[in-house]
């Protein structure tokens, strides 16, 4: 038996003017709850009413307003008043003002504000229904009439291969967008156009009432309007990451209640979310702890016993005795059991079962971490290399990209993706002028195509740490900087780690040669190029922009090619001392790694690092700050530079500065511990004593995490998920274990790796693409439009939506906060996997 729950208009039921298709017998009415959480819920259905709001970073993170979680999957979001049918990431969105929850009355209200009008979205429970209304104190401004409308977006992947009914008329959801478009005099940011008019899709269906997926109870949703007509748009016509949007314009000329909708989401009474058996998809070392955590619906009170099987050579599942599962308790919205099978040490292939849920096979075997990091080293990092062509066997990952870097960014300009240029250029170049020498080195940041300087020096330092700590001499990538070509799976006689560290350092050196200081980064000049997907080399024409030429005109001479196409990336050059210290630290580290292999290059790096240090200590610091592109905290960046220069030179003046900055670093020990430990061999006993005391406090906090959540690692709850935080936790644990093995054991490092490999909330997927039996194979890389992945890339992981919903989606790569690769996490993963190799040797 199936019942419907949802947002429903009381005015619709029994109204004579409603079309015949909307006059179906009303569903059996079962009261929604608004008691144990601040949202409406029924078995298998949650309606979140502004539990999540736009945080201001981007207007379209697909986490906001009215949202639907149906049978455990979030399928609808962004229920709010918007100013276009298919708004994109940089289009206007209202500012959240306040939210009121009255559980006794069954009402949730959110007050929202645009610059020229405000409104309230009201949700009221009535039995098994919720009435949703949009209320205005005064009529819409005239310029907003025909623009402002209430939108609700549905993720396309949940409705592919499903039908819908429009006032009873049957149709199928489009697998690929192919709708009529109309030009608009006013550009919509989602169009990506930087000049001239834009275009918006026309609706592909209209109705008073829509029923989505009538054939599939797990996705069946009914949407109806009390007055007027609903329109259904396909946002993918305008933006590849667009959703299906149901929309109704707000009427002009009146105030009060302007709009009411009906939404019915269907659910099977007694529905329980299937269990998830969180475990390491990579497997387990024989002597390591082995904990699987079973994630259950909070209403699932069945007392079942997990089972472990070893799969023998004939394919038989041989039962392995297990301890009784332990009740861990409740975390977020789920109930958790834990099963400890650490006593199982016999190498073999195993799988776990709980009820009807069965895991993929996983090994218990020595040496698992020997090769776990290879895909990141061999594929992901090379694919992220900018200013080179990257080839893998028969596949071209991308051509020789961005040979036209870069033009000086305009002053007093706030740009996309957290870049901003201050009141001056801080260079000798005028806004718009080409800055020669920047088209070399660097990694493309995240799933985009910008070079973020803070990423460059962070990754360089991590790679040098790996080189010095583990001596990895793996050679599988051929790099030819002269011909600007990279070939995967082809050795060239130079360890890959050293090549990668050199590539990042070349970009840092180029910045100093070009403008004399570290820059914020190099990024696309407009949204159209920023949202480019596919081959990075096709994003620009590779020719330096010449304003004397006509648009798209090209000219060639002995100096090279130029064009009249202003597609060159912009360099954001506002000086920040924090960035300079970060660059100095990376260059000093590179000098150590290349000393004895290419002494001229090593001297060049160290000389530049020392000059940076001396120059920054000869003047007041430049304190320009914006977003995450202008460096970390100033003292922390200076401390990192002092430590790396101390290790590179042994000069005691750097040791003196390390000692002076140490008290401030101890206050942020979770983030500075690894760097503080590196300095230990060069510092006096008092320094070691202070770090040891901080290590003891850290160990206490790490132990407490096992009571804070079932996974024993820090789980963040911001708009960007926390794989990086978990990797950092594991690496900090390893650094402290090496320095103080009696204080910090191996457990934090191995817990972090288990988390990354699948022992986490929401799913059991490995967050390293291609690593483990089941991993992230639909992710946010440059190939995300193909619903594919880059081997070895590490995704942000579990995003915690307020108030209690952990999410990591495998069917929609465009959730950047969950699925977007970032280069630093790739380098951190290589380090952490090799830390586990070292710990395995200890276990033996």
Q: Is 486 in the same domain as 550?
A: yes
Does 154 map to a domain?
yes
- pLDDT attached to residue 446: 76
Mean pLDDT on 342-355: 98
Does 294 map to a domain?
yes
Confidence of residue 57 (pLDDT cuts 50, 70, 90): low
- pLDDT attached to residue 199: 87
Q: Is 263 in the same domain as 330?
A: no
Q: What's the Cα-to-Cα distance from 607 to each of 467, 504, 519, rounded to whole Å?
A: 21, 17, 19
Task: Give the chain's domain count.
Answer: 4
Q: Is 336 in the same domain as 473?
A: no
Mean pLDDT on 49-71: 88
Q: Are 787 and 810 in contact (CB under 8 A)?
A: no
- Mean pLDDT of the chain, nearest integer: 93
In this structure, what are the phi and psi dihedrals at residue 586, rounded to the nearest 5 degrees?
Answer: -65, -40
Confidence of residue 776 (pLDDT cuts 50, 70, 90): very high
Packing angle of the helix pair 634-649, 652-666 (nearest 10 deg): 150
Q: CA-to-CA distance for 224 and 167, rounded, in angstroms?
A: 9
Does 31 map to a domain?
yes
Identify the CA nearest to 830 among candidates 500, 453, 571: 500
3-class SS of residue 443: strand
- Domain span including residue 805: 676-844
Mean pLDDT on 39-48: 94
Structure tokens at 154: 């549905």
Which CATH number does the domain housing residue 351 bear?
2.60.40.10
- pLDDT attached to residue 189: 53
Q: Is the confidence at residue 377, as pLDDT, over 90? A: yes
Q: Is 304 in the same domain as 424?
A: no
Q: Is 144 in the same domain as 188?
A: yes
Does 645 map to a domain?
no
Q: Is 408 in the same domain as 511?
A: yes
Q: Is 842 in the same domain as 752?
A: yes
Q: Is 237 in the same domain as 338?
A: no
Q: Is 246 in the same domain as 313?
A: no
- pLDDT attached to residue 127: 75
Q: Is 454 in the same domain as 592?
A: yes
Which CATH number does the domain housing residue 213 bear?
2.70.98
- pLDDT attached to residue 495: 98
pLDDT in tens, 536-592: 999 999 999 999 999 999 999 877 899 999 999 999 999 999 999 999 999 999 999
Reduce the secondary structure of 688-711 to three states and give it as a string.
HHHHHHHHHHHHHHHHHHHHHCCC
Identify the CA nearest to 71 among candidates 271, 307, 231, 211: 271
Q: Is the confidence at residue 99, as pLDDT, over 60? A: yes
- pLDDT attached to residue 188: 54
Share of the chain above pLDDT 90, in %: 88
Does 621 map to a domain?
no
Q: Is 361 in the same domain as 387?
A: no
Q: Is the confidence at residue 385, as pLDDT, over 90? A: yes
Q: Which of 550, 567, 598 is the last residue of a domain?
A: 598
Q: Is the confidence at residue 20, as pLDDT, over 90? A: no
pLDDT in tens, 626-639: 999 999 999 999 99
Does 839 map to a domain?
yes
Q: Is 736 in the same domain as 800?
A: yes
3-class SS of residue 71: coil
Q: Which of 366, 398, 428 is the last residue of a domain?
A: 366
pLDDT in tens, 161-197: 999 999 999 999 999 999 999 998 665 554 444 544 5
Q: Which of 366, 398, 418 is the last residue of a domain?
A: 366
Does 668 map to a domain?
no
Mean pLDDT on 757-768: 98
Confidence of residue 501 (pLDDT cuts 50, 70, 90): very high
- pLDDT attached to residue 588: 98
Does 607 map to a domain?
no
Confidence of residue 17 (pLDDT cuts 50, 70, 90): very low
Which CATH number does the domain housing residue 757 bear?
1.50.10.10
């Amino acid at each position: 038996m199936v019942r419907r729950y949802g947002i429903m208009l009381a005015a619709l039921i029994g109204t004579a003017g409603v079309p015949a298709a909307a006059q179906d017998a009303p569903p059996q009415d079962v009261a929604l709850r608004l008691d144990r959480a601040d949202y409406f819920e029924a078995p298998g259905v949650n309606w979140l009413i502004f539990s999540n709001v736009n945080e201001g970073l981007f207007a379209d993170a697909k986490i906001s307003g009215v949202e639907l979680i149906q049978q455990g999957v979030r399928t609808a979001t962004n229920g709010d008043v918007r100013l276009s049918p298919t708004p994109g990431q940089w289009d206007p969105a209202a500012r959240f003002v306040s939210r009121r929850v009255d559980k006794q009355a069954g009402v949730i209200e959110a007050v929202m504000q645009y610059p020229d009008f405000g409104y309230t979205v009201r949700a009221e429970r009535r039995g098994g229904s919720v009435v949703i209304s949009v209320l205005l104190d005064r009529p819409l401004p005239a310029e907003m009439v025909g623009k402002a409308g209430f939108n609700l977006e549905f993720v396309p992947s949940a409705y592919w291969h499903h039908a819908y009914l429009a006032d009873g008329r049957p149709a199928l959801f489009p697998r690929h967008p192919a709708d009529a478009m109309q030009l608009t005099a006013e550009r919509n940011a989602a169009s990506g156009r930087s000049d001239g008019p834009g275009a918006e899709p026309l609706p592909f269906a209209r109705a008073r009432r829509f029923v989505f997926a009538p054939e599939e109870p797990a996705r069946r949703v009914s949407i109806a309007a009390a007055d007027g007509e609903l329109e259904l748009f396909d946002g993918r016509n305008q933006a590849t990451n667009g959703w299906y949007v149901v929309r109704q314009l707000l009427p002009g000329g009146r105030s009060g209640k302007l709009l009411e909708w009906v939404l019915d989401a269907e659910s099977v009474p007694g529905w329980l979310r299937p269990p998830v058996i969180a475990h390491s998809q990579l497997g387990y070392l024989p002597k390591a702890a082995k904990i699987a955590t079973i994630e259950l619906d909070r209403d699932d009170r069945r007392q079942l016993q997990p089972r472990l099987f070893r799969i023998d050579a004939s394919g038989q599942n041989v039962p392995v005795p297990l301890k009784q599962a332990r009740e861990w308790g409740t975390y977020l919205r789920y109930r958790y059991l834990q099963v400890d099978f650490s006593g199982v040490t016999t190498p073999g292939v195993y799988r776990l079962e709980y009820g009807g849920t069965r895991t993929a096979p996983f090994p218990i075997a020595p040496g698992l971490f020997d090769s776990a990091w290879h895909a990141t080293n061999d594929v992901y990092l090379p694919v992220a290399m900018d200013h080179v062509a990257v080839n893998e066997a028969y596949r071209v990952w991308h051509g020789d990209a961005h040979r036209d870097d870069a033009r000086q960014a305009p002053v007093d300009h706030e740009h996309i993706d957290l870049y901003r240029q201050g009141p001056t250029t801080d260079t000798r170049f005028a806004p718009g002028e080409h800055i020669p020498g920047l088209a070399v080195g660097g990694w493309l940041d995240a799933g985009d195509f910008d070079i973020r300087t803070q990423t460059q020096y962070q990754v360089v330092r991590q790679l040098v740490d790996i080189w010095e700590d583990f001596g990895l001499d793996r050679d599988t990538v051929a790099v030819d900087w002269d011909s600007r070509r990279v070939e995967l799976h082809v050795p060239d006689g130079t360890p890959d780690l050293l090549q990668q560290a050199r590539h990042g350092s070349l970009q840092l050196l180029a910045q100093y040669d070009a403008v004399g200081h570290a820059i914020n980064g190099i990024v696309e000049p407009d949204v159209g190029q920023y949202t480019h997907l596919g081959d990075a080399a096709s994003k620009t024409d590779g020719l330096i922009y010449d304003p004397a030429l006509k648009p798209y005109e090209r000219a060639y001479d002995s100096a090279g090619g130029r064009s009249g196409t202003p597609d060159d990336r912009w360099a954001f050059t506002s000086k920040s001392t924090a960035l300079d210290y970060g660059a100095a630290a990376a260059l000093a580290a590179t000098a150590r790694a290349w000393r004895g292999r290419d002494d001229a290059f090593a001297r060049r790096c160290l000389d530049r690092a020392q000059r940076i240090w001396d120059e920054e200590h000869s003047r007041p610091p430049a304190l320009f700050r914006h977003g995450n592109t202008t460096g970390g905290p100033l003292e922390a960046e200076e401390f990192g530079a002092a430590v790396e220069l101390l290790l590179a030179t042994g000069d005691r003046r750097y040791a003196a500065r390390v000692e002076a900055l140490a008290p401030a670093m101890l206050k942020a020990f979770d983030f500075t511990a690894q760097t503080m430990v590196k300095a230990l061999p060069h510092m006096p006993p008092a320094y070691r004593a202070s770090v040891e005391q901080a290590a003891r406090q850290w160990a206490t906090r790490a132990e407490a995490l096992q009571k804070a959540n079932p996974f024993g690692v820090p789980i963040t709850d911001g708009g960007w998920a926390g794989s990086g935080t978990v990797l950092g936790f594991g690496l900090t644990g390893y650094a402290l274990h090496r320095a103080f093995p009696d204080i910090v054991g191996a457990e934090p490092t191995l817990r972090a790796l288990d988390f990354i490999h699948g022992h986490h909330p929401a799913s059991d997927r490995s967050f390293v693409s291609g690593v483990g039996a089941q991993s992230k194979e639909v992710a946010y890389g440059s190939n995300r439009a193909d619903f594919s992945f880059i081997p070895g890339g590490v995704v942000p992981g579990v995003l915690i939506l307020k108030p209690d919903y952990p999410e990591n989606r495998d069917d929609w790569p465009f959730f950047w906060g969950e699925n977007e690769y970032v280069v630093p996490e790739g380098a951190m993963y290589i380090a952490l996997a090799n830390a586990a190799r070292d710990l395995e040797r200890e276990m033996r």
